[in-house]
Structure 1
Amino acid sequence: MSLLHFLILLPLLAAILVPFLRKAASKIHTGWFVLAIPAVLFIYFVSKIPQVQDGEYLLETMSWIPSLDLNFTVYLDGLGILFALLISGIGTLVVLYSIYYLDKQKEAIHQFYVYLLMFMAAMLGVTLSDNLIVLYGFWELTSISSFLLIGFWNHRDRSRYGAQKSMLITVFGGFAMLAGFILMYLMTGSFSVREIIADLNVVQNHSLFLPAMILVLLGAFTKSAQFPFHIWLPDAMEAPTPVSAYLHSATMVKAGIYLVARLSPVFAGNAEWFWIVSSVGLITLCWGSFFAVKQTDLKGILAYSTISQLGMIMSLLGLGSAAVYYGAGSQSDYYIKATTAAVFHLINHATFKGALFMVAGIVDHETGTRDIRRLGGLMTLMPISFTLMLIGTFSMAGLPPFNGFLSKEMFFTAMVNAAEMNFFNMETWGVLFPVLAWLASVFTFIYSMILLFKTFRGSLKLEQLPKKPHEAPLGMLLSPMILASLVVIFGLFPNILSYSLIEPAMASILPSLLQPGDQFLVHISHWHGWQTEIFMTIGVIVFGTLLFLSLRYLQRIYRWIPEKLSLNLLYDKGLSAVDQGSNRLTRFYMRGSVRQYLIYIFAFMIVMLCYSLIRFDAMVWTGAEYADMSIYEIVLVIILVASAAAVPFSQSRLTSIILVGAVGYIVTLFFVIFRAPDLALTQMVVETVSVALFLLCFYHLPKLKKELTSIKFKLSNFVISLGVGITMTLISISVTNQRLFESISDFFLEESYRLAGGKNVVNVILVDFRGFDTLLEIMVLGVASLGIYTMIRLRLEETKREDKEKAYTPEYVFPSFGWMRSNDVILQTVTKVVVFIILAFSVFIFLAGHNHPGGGFIGGLITSSALVLLALAFDLKTIRNVIPADFRRITAAGLLIAVLTGIGSFVFDAPFLSHTFGYFDLPLLGKTELATATIFDLGVYLAVVGVTMTIILTIGEDR
């Protein structure tokens, strides 16, 4: 694992440690500990600026699943370092701000910082991953962590609603994006962004190019709140202000911008890309600025302004893609400037919008409201906040000498150049670009003035404020002061950014326009002469001022817009319709009968599989000769078929359990005959534990009803079971008689000892070659055991509560395995000896499994069998006394050991769950083989014991 990999995962590691700070940080705010994480990251990325500025990049690869072309490859170039600095830099200021904003006595600050660090790591992973699938994994982690952050105040309905809304929309886009990534893989055979760009000719001439592009853009548009997917962002303002300042101004909403910029080398120069990206961006710009004027909540105005500003950046990236159409040359310079403006405004927006969100939070914190109808006259009471708001709003409005003015002028330049394009049908529609840009800028000016003057000017309305307003403490003001200072510094000295960040970022976005060793030359000036752009700015100020002064008349326009045309209403109605439809569908087939569910499943399986066999002519019977059947096999088959056929017609559950157990034990005998000792041993122990578990479950069921013992009922069971048996038999015969590929068994037989150091091929497959499957299987078992435990415990708690309310004690408690005690003296006496023999045998089976029949799975089952025998002879309290540990914790310990064994591979730069072995001379034992797979097998052993005993004890103690 490289240093860069470690730094990306550092916030996740810190998030794991944060809950342990609860006691250590009883007197110190947890934020002070967390603050070091983004600060260290920021310092590291700042140190890499000279290297990236010289045209170099940092590439580190960590193997994950190489066979699937999945490696955690980190790529730090100009675009990556720009976003990394935003994520870590703004993150540092947000954590500092949150220390003073969140009260550690009233808020669950440990949860807050866990979620925030998760999000920070996810964003770093998104912006620095070269592998598209790894990028997607981090992308969805941003959705999950933002869901938790937006819903942090989960006692509020609006917080839960906003969190759900953001989750549904962004995850929908994420799934679409994943599909687009898969199509890109089908075109190029690689998930690496660098390799896809290198294979550009194949991609752009492929029939899947357009579908892949649209799917990827869906992911980008939903995450960056582009029209019509923008509706989640205003509702996300229910999050605490530090979250809004971080997620919704500088990081999460910029993830979509990043994706468009990163994949521009793949899709830019294409007419569809140009029109979709630029037009969606312009529509979003206009829509957001127009509806921001309508808002009365400070954060609501900032939310719609963010939508508008994101649309502006997106439209610039769309226009900049036209430079690829021209290629390197003087004609492309006009459109390169659009990309320059996009990158510059990306930085500017993070600075002034972050400051504005923090000031809005300060106003809310110190006055108790964000409603501008109740605010006003705060300038004299909160002069520092007023100054910070003035700098932020003037920059957002595009007024000199702030940085927003410069990037807004560059935006106007790009739009004016767009009107002069003579390709992509811009001769007809190009004139709309500067017109729409100017109109949106007028409304941007208006809502910026609303933010400033409606909050700090006018008359003070103390009687309408929940709190007496006063200036915030210095600690809360420090972060927005730093951001406001950057607004001024970048406005006065913009070329600080030109050579260090903007030029390298542009080289990442438009690499095809550079020759090897060349770089873009960016120089940002405050004055370009009396050109069209400056007149557009003057017009914005004049018309914006007039409209702001006549605001009450302007706002009448919004009354003309029918509420039924609201996209939010469409979302709510659509979600309600889906909810009602799913309820009706669920009620149709969820009748509360497990038997009916099984009939649905098995009937569907029979129909689909048989149809597939017939439809695709997959049923093959070659008539090949098979080995002769011995008399033992014939007898066992007859007994097995008879036992299985008798199950549906048995008159008692006990008989059914015995017959099912008999079927299992007969299968065990087949494994013995076929010389498969591992399978025989596993099957025998599984049947033993299963029969005990069945007895526990069936013991609690009521008596069989007459209709459940009728011939009709049993005949239908027989038909379904016969159909499943015949279907699976036909499939097995077809598979046996038709091999499309060579058997992989020879590989395992030949390589198990050479590659894994084990002679027991079955165990080697489980813990080495297919260890990932085994890990997922024990995880599923763990989840199942916890589900059973939770369901029964909830029912027990409810029963106890009802009994307590009724003050009623039943005269007769139905006996259960949990408290019954056997009176068989012989069984108890024998058990005291046999149980230790079984336990010793289970340890031997576990240790011998790598080279002889056995392993962690069967060893765990044998241990569980010994404990079941102990419970049968005595009671469950005896098990509790013998093993006082919580079996759920044993399950967790087993899973943790298995996972840590897999993660340990990364330390040696090996894929997840890679194992090694060696031979060592040990005292007393001599030359001994030691394999890391044994550690993984120990995790399997503990997980199996924990899962089995959790289920048995939980059911057994349920009276």
Structure 2
Amino acid sequence: MSTLHLLVLAPFIMAIFVPFFYKGFRRIHTGWFVLALPLLLFIYLLRFIPIGEPLQVVKETMDWVPSLGIGFNIYLDGLSLLFALLITGIGTLVVLYSIFYIANKKDEPLNNFYVYLLMFMGAMLGVVLSDNLIVIYVFWELTSLASSLLIAYWFHKEKSRYGAQKSMLITVTGGFAMLAGFCLLYIMTGTFSIQGIISFFAESGAIFNEALFLPAMILILLGAFTKSAQFPFHIWLPDAMEAPTPVSAYLHSATMVKAGIYLVARFTPVFGGTPEWFWIITSFGLLTLIWGSISAIRQVDLKAILAFSTISQLGLIMALLGLGSASFIDNVAEVAIIAAIFHLINHATFKGSLFMVVGIVDHETGTRDIRKLGGLMAIMPITFTISIIGIASMAGLPPFNGFLSKEMFFTGVLEATTLNIFNVQTLGFIFPIVAWIASVFTFAYCMIMFFKTFTGKYQPEKLEKKAHEAPIGLLISPIVLASLVVIFGLFPNMLSYTIIEPAMQSVLPYVSDPYINIYHWHGFNAELFMTIGVVLFGTVVFLNLKRWQETTFFLHERDPLNRFYDGGLEGLVAGSQRVTNLQLTGLLRDYFAYMMVFMILLLGWTFFRYDAVAFNFVDVSEISPYLWIITLALIAATISVPFIQHRVTAIIVVGVIGFLIALLFVVFRAPDLALTQLLVETVMVVLFLLCFYHLPELRKESFKARFKMTNLIISVGMGAIVTLIAFSAHAARHGLSFEPISQYFVENSVPLAGGYNMVNVILVDFRGLDTMLEVLVLGVAALGIVALIKLKMKEGQDI
């Protein structure tokens, strides 16, 4: 196991010790123990940044399931290094911020918070550093799980539980689609390695015409779009803001929502250069960009404004990746990839600082409602200074880093209109129009955040707390991020060849020596005039905000697409209840009927589909007279059961049937089966009789049997199917082309599994996954029982 493997696993290992820190050192905030880990990981990753020389790609392998081609393989290149630095760097600042944000109270489960946070950090590192698709999927779903747990950290709030459930359902559903896409890629390429798939596609240009190519692309994009909150899957992100602010600053500005961005960037060398990839990503990115920016205008909660702002910015980055994918055919689009990577960094800095500032405002005033805020400029001067830097960068104003990447965004959409591929010459004029309109609304909601919070009249009577400046502990992390906003704005080229170029070469591997030079002044060009227009029209929108808010779209804060999610969920619950009520009748005979009907249909279809019915009476032994006697007795006893009116008598007759079956086993020389049948039947008869003897008489002991045609049909059908199986299995030994499956286990039980008891080997080894899942089900049931036992409910309280 290499150091990079340990780097991924370190957060999980630390998470094991967090509960011990929490219980053993109650007077010390648990965050202080956790803080060292992301800081050390960040410092370690800094050594991989290339300074004056090309980045050395690091590959480390470790087998997991080698027979299936699954290995925990690490691949560190420019793209994964960028994301790993964001995960550990922002993670360090978030942990430091959380120490002062979440009080070390007796009733505050800090151990849960930091376990979930570390689990998320490790999962994100696994996503961006793994080279195997199946391993990526495992970590991908772990991010969804950890995210939902963090969102529901304050689980006593209904909105927190709702937001956690929503994020889990949407992102996990997308993850399942992504897994299906990965499987299709494996079918086409024969490998789960991302780099192997990239090499395969580079060498086999004809693969683009494969029937599975487009379905694989769409399924993978579904996973990316749900995780990165692209329209229409964005609706989970605003509700996720019920999480503590450190979680929002970490997951929803710098890391989790960027996982989809990473996936698209990583697979651009595979799918880039195709019109489907170009148009799907660009269209959804621009739609998300404009929808998020317009929706942010109608919010009154500061975190809600930032949530829709994040959606909009993610759409911007996604659109740039879509436009940049055309550079596989036309090098004009390379600037879009540079802009996407640069804005990815910038967004993490200014949005992370703004989320922390909003947390400070909420922490020190007791509210995030802009209708209650105002006049905080003089009361909270440091917070105000951090805010103006972050807001100005988000609005795209110089000299901050957001201005530079926004100008490059305008350059990217303008240059995209000159492309002469994918019919861009027909619809390409839409790109700069949508980009400019979205930027106008971006500038407007930035003005709303700034002026509604820090200027105007101070309203202490509307605040839950007396407003004051935050303690230095809460200010350190946003100050660091705001400083990076300024530094990257004034000296952007310090990132050009250390971070941006290596990441760009991962997305566009054919670019060997790109020229990256980022600077503020480009003369009086179209981008500058677009920016001037954004400022002017954005100001007009802000000054006429009341008129905008009177329109139907602005009457409700919640996204109108939520009604489809809520309606779909309600329909799913109602439908499942109807199906459950139909199935779970509480009657054992109904359950048997369902199972029998299913088996009849499945086996009958299999016989028909594969023409498997066969009759061959060669080597059939003669039926002796005493076997006829046993069989007739068995038939008579079976037929008599429905007509017996006394339950105890019916139990005895059922026992007789079991003993007769045991006698059949003896006749057919199967003593082990006969012994098992005798023991089980004896125990069952005794237990039934004891139960009926001790149970109170709740109803009349006698009953009248009723004839049901459905029961007769099911019984006859099941008997016919079993008879066909017996005849066909016997015929399979005489003249059919395929050999019995038992021969495989006879030959491989010892060499593959090392066991001589073939039945045990089948259960433990050949069906090991099935057995493991059965054990997992039992474990989950046991945990549920323990939780119910330990759950202390107050009288009248609902679960």
Question: TM-score, normalised on structure 1?
Answer: 0.75
- SS class of match (2:73): strand
Question: Aligned residue for 1:167?
Answer: 168
CA distance in 2, matches of 1:60, 1:675: 57
CA distance in 2, matches of 1:103, 1:560: 37
Question: Aligned residue for 1:910?
Answer: none
Q: Is the 8 A contact 2:5 2:74 kept in 1?
A: yes
- SS class of match (1:64): strand
Residue 299 (1) aligns with residue 295 (2): no
Paired letter, 1:387:
T
Q: Is the 8 A contact 1:644 1:663 kept in 2?
A: yes
Instruction: Deviation per CA, 1:541-596: give whole Å up to 9, x if none.
Output: 23323433443344444667799992122332333333334334444444333322
Question: Aligned residue for 2:226?
Answer: 222
CA distance in 2, matches of 1:626, 1:645: 27
CA distance in 1, matches of 2:706, 2:337: 74
Paired letter, 2:199:
A
Deviation at 1:494, TM superposition (A): 1.7
Deviation at 1:676, TM superposition (A): 7.3
Residue 479 (1) aligns with residue 477 (2): yes
Q: Is the 8 A contact 1:52 1:77 kept in 2?
A: no
Deviation at 1:530, TM superposition (A): 2.5
Instruction: Deviation per CA, 1:251-310: give whole Å up to 9, x if none.
Output: 111111111111111111111111111111111111111121221110011011101100
Instruction: Deviation per CA, 1:914-953: give whole Å up to 9, x if none.
Output: xxxxxxxxxxxxxxxxxxxxxxxxxxxxxxxxxxxxxxxx
- SS class of match (1:711): coil
Question: Aligned residue for 1:151?
Answer: 152
Deviation at 1:116, TM superposition (A): 1.7
Question: Aligned residue for 1:510?
Answer: 508
Q: Is the 8 A contact 1:53 1:504 kept in 2?
A: no
Give the unaligned 5+ runs of structure 2. none
| Residues 14 and 681 (structure 1), Cα distance of their counterparts in 2 relative to 1, 3 Å cut | farther
Residue 525 (1) aligns with residue 529 (2): no
Please list, as runs of the form range in 1=range in 2, the aligned pairs for 1:364-763 lying within 5 A after superposition. 364-511=362-509, 513-514=510-511, 518-557=512-551, 566-614=560-608, 616-626=610-620, 648=642, 703=697, 709-712=703-706, 720-721=714-715, 723-738=717-732, 741-743=738-740, 745-754=742-751, 756-763=753-760
Question: Aligned residue for 2:38?
Answer: 38
CA distance in 2, matches of 1:616, 1:101: 65
| Residues 770 and 400 (structure 1), Cα distance of their counterparts in 2 relative to 1, 3 Å cut | same
CA distance in 2, matches of 1:85, 1:656: 73
Instruction: Deviation per CA, 1:214-263: give whole Å up to 9, x if none.
Output: 22212211111111221111111111111111111011111111111111
CA distance in 1, matches of 2:663, 2:56: 66
Q: Is the 8 A contact 2:51 2:498 kept in 1?
A: no
CA distance in 2, matches of 1:17, 1:656: 59
Question: Aligned residue for 1:342?
Answer: 340
- SS class of match (1:155): coil
Q: How many pairs are equivalent?
A: 787
Q: Is the 8 A contact 2:646 2:701 kept in 1?
A: no
| Residues 242 and 674 (structure 1), Cα distance of their counterparts in 2 relative to 1, 3 Å cut | farther
| Residues 699 and 389 (structure 1), Cα distance of their counterparts in 2 relative to 1, 3 Å cut | farther
| Residues 643 and 361 (structure 1), Cα distance of their counterparts in 2 relative to 1, 3 Å cut | farther
CA distance in 2, matches of 1:6, 1:629: 68
Deviation at 1:369, TM superposition (A): 0.2
Question: Aligned residue for 2:64?
Answer: 64
Deviation at 1:204, TM superposition (A): 1.1
Deviation at 1:414, TM superposition (A): 0.3
Deviation at 1:653, TM superposition (A): 5.1
CA distance in 1, matches of 2:246, 2:556: 34
Question: TM-score, normalised on structure 2?
Answer: 0.89
Paired letter, 1:778:
V
Question: Aligned residue for 1:957?
Answer: none
CA distance in 2, matches of 1:420, 1:182: 37
Deviation at 1:397, TM superposition (A): 0.9
Question: Aligned residue for 1:9?
Answer: 9
| Residues 753 and 170 (structure 1), Cα distance of their counterparts in 2 relative to 1, 3 Å cut | closer
Deviation at 1:643, TM superposition (A): 6.1
Question: Aligned residue for 1:97?
Answer: 97
| Residues 427 and 657 (structure 1), Cα distance of their counterparts in 2 relative to 1, 3 Å cut | same
CA distance in 2, matches of 1:689, 1:783: 29
Question: Aligned residue for 2:131?
Answer: 130
Q: Is the 8 A contact 1:53 1:500 kept in 2?
A: no
| Residues 660 and 192 (structure 1), Cα distance of their counterparts in 2 relative to 1, 3 Å cut | farther
- SS class of match (2:495): helix
Q: Is the 8 A contact 1:359 1:385 kept in 2?
A: yes
CA distance in 2, matches of 1:20, 1:657: 56
Q: Is the 8 A contact 1:82 1:501 kept in 2?
A: yes
CA distance in 1, matches of 2:457, 2:494: 41
Deviation at 1:487, TM superposition (A): 1.2
CA distance in 2, matches of 1:410, 1:666: 85
Residue 317 (1) aligns with residue 321 (2): yes
Question: Aligned residue for 2:774?
Answer: 777
CA distance in 1, matches of 2:335, 2:227: 25
CA distance in 2, matches of 1:471, 1:242: 18
Question: Aligned residue for 1:824?
Answer: none
Deviation at 1:491, TM superposition (A): 1.4
Paired letter, 1:422:
N
Paired letter, 2:771:
T
Instruction: Deviation per CA, 1:471-505: give whole Å up to 9, x if none.
Output: 11111111111111111121122222222221121
CA distance in 2, matches of 1:631, 1:780: 48
Q: Is the 8 A contact 1:621 1:737 kept in 2?
A: yes
Residue 241 (1) aligns with residue 245 (2): yes
Instruction: Deviation per CA, 1:774-808: give whole Å up to 9, x if none.
Output: 333334455567778999x89xx99xx99xxxxxx
CA distance in 2, matches of 1:669, 1:38: 69
Q: Is the 8 A contact 1:648 1:714 kept in 2?
A: no
CA distance in 2, matches of 1:221, 1:117: 24
Instruction: Deviation per CA, 1:670-706: give whole Å up to 9, x if none.
Output: 7778787877777677667766776676667664856
- SS class of match (1:263): helix
Instruction: Deviation per CA, 1:608-666: give whole Å up to 9, x if none.
Output: 43244245532122334256778997777667666665655555555555666666677
CA distance in 2, matches of 1:81, 1:626: 71
Give the unaligned 5+ runs of structure 1. 327-331, 803-959
CA distance in 1, matches of 2:346, 2:559: 34
CA distance in 1, matches of 2:667, 2:406: 82
Q: Which moved more, 1:549-558 or 1:384-393?
A: 549-558
Question: Aligned residue for 1:192?
Answer: 193
CA distance in 2, matches of 1:531, 1:629: 99
Question: Aligned residue for 1:183?
Answer: 184
